[in-house]
A and B are shown apart, each in its own frame.
Chain A
Amino acid sequence: MGFLEDQKKEMEVLESALAQGDTELIARLAHKMKGSAMNLRLDVMAQPAASIEKAAKEGDLSGIPVPWDALSRGFETLREKGKIDGTRT
């Protein structure tokens, strides 16, 4: 399993947590994502993940869509360049 496939899975899990509005789970997932992105200096993901974590911890669901959008775009940038189509195992 490559790094981008791992991240894609995490993004999907996070997305479903967002759909459920489970702030506790969102905060936990965003925290984890922030950590791994920071380790690899993937600022385009680390910063929005940090914002999502913060909003989720404050129970502020309305503050999540903007950083989530940034996070998705950040991830897409990496995915395009890493040329992983997501179907490869």
Chain B
Amino acid sequence: MEPVPETILVVDDDKTNRNLLSIILKKAEYRVIEAEDGQDALTKAVETPVDLVLLDIMMPNMDGYEACRRMKEEPGTKDIPVIFLSAKVETRDKIMGLDSGGADYVTKPFNKGEVLARVRSQLRIRNLTKEVIEKQKLLDNDLKVAAGIQKSLLPSREVPENSQLKWAWRFKPCEEIGGDIFNILRLDETHYAVYMLDVSGHGVASALVTVSASQMLQPHTNTLVRQDSGKGSGKEMISPVDVVIQLDNEYPMERFDKYFTLVYMLIDTEKGLLRYCNAGHPPPVLFRADGTAEKLEKGGPMVGLQGALPFEEGEIALDSGDRVILYTDGVVEYEKTDLDFYGEERFNDAITRSSGVHIDAFLDDLMEDLTNFGEGAPPRDDITLLAFDYRGSTKMAKV
């Protein structure tokens, strides 16, 4: 296929100048269109796709500076490189030309070779820029698709509920594809596991680690959270601390150059027993029906140090009406302006205010509080919140 000649718009109020430039450019196999002043140039640049503009400065109707500024304001013409061609030789004029958005500046009387060399150079830059923009578009699209896939790993709206637990969550991903993931696993009639995980960094690598870890934590395909008891009496729940230790061995920091923080909880709904292990994650809050709050901090460091520091397990007896709130640091580190964070204090206040509020309304209020605080600042990190209410064991309910 013949390469399409590039189109150059020559703008000059002097017909002789236009003709001369036209001849030079056509000889160099460019396509040329002409305009006789700034206004005319704007019209023509919109009518015809133009690859470059050679622009005189002193012209009637609209001068070159103004024409250039307007072209740079229009989305359709802003990426077209403009080379000023002018008899104005003062440095001040060149600065004005470049400040109005010009890419280069050639003084008259011009040298034919120089004009052609500068045209080639600007077209080369423009083509490279175009390529980069195209590639970036493809990448952005891939990232959008990837973010969609990642989101599909979050629990569906219909979490297998039982009468003792009520779940709710909110997830607001940051613009980049992020590193938060959480899930609720129903292990059997009376056991639920819930985890929240935050991989260091953002981007594709972090997202892929979340996918990998969430696969590891699938009870149907893995023995990480549940295994055969060997006594023929069904499945045995793996204790939270052992789940974390296994992950810590499975994901050494050097493997993907990533680490993650994690809270893993195992809930026995019948006994009202919550066992958990917190691996360097912001501590979940246990908000009791009586209005007291407790941080769930038992655990150890983040996952990835291969047992360098010990992990321990926390155990909590849940009462009917207790609420547990898990979150990632994207909540408390949500930044309005530089170093103005939402912070733990606001977060704790929001929880304290929520006494007696329905779990969905509570999370809505919290998200609203965050939004109001941030005044529309885009989150730099995923914002993830998950809460559940314990409604007592079935035995208690029957009484």
Contacts and interface: CB of A to CB of B under 8 A. Distances in A.
B7 interface: no
Best-surrounded residue of A41, A82, A83, A88 (most CB of chain B within 10 A): A41
A41 B254 contact: no
Interface residues of B, number: 22
A18 B283 CA distance: 34
B305 A78 contact: yes
A43 B308 contact: no
B305 to A, nearest CB: 5
Contacts, number: 55
B32 interface: no
A39 interface: yes
Contact of B259 (A3, A44, A77): A3
B301 A82 contact: no
Q: Is the interface of A mostly helix, strand, loop or mixed?
A: helix
A83 B252 contact: yes
Interface in B296-324: 299-302, 304-309
A82 B302 contact: no
Given A77-B308, A82-B308, A41 B252 contact: no
A82 B306 contact: yes
A12 B290 CA distance: 49
B300 A41 contact: yes
Contact of B253 (A2, A42, A43, A44): A2
A41 B257 contact: no
Given A2-B257, A84-B254, A41 B302 contact: yes
B299 A82 contact: no
Contact of B305 (A39, A43, A81, A88): A81
Given A82-B253, A83-B252, A40 B301 contact: yes
A2 B259 CA distance: 9
A84 B252 CA distance: 10
Nearest to B304: A82
Contacts of A61: none
A13 B362 CA distance: 45
Contacts of B306: 81-83
B384 interface: no
B299 A78 contact: no
Contacts of B261: 40
Nearest to A46: B301
B200 interface: yes
Given A39-B280, A80-B308, A81-B308, A4 B302 contact: no
Nearest to B305: A81
Contacts of B257: 2
A4 B280 CA distance: 15
Interface string A2-42: 11100000000000000000000000000000000001111
Given A82-B308, A83-B252, A83-B306, 20 more contacts: A2-B257, A2-B258, A3-B253, A4-B253, A40-B259, A40-B280, A40-B301, A40-B302, A41-B278, A41-B279, A41-B301, A42-B280, A42-B309, A43-B309, A44-B309, A78-B309, A81-B307, A82-B252, A82-B305, A83-B254
Interface of A: 2-4, 39-44, 77-78, 80-84, 88
20 contacts: A2-B254, A2-B257, A2-B258, A3-B253, A39-B329, A41-B280, A41-B309, A42-B280, A77-B309, A78-B305, A78-B308, A78-B309, A80-B308, A81-B306, A82-B252, A82-B308, A83-B253, A83-B306, A84-B254, A88-B254
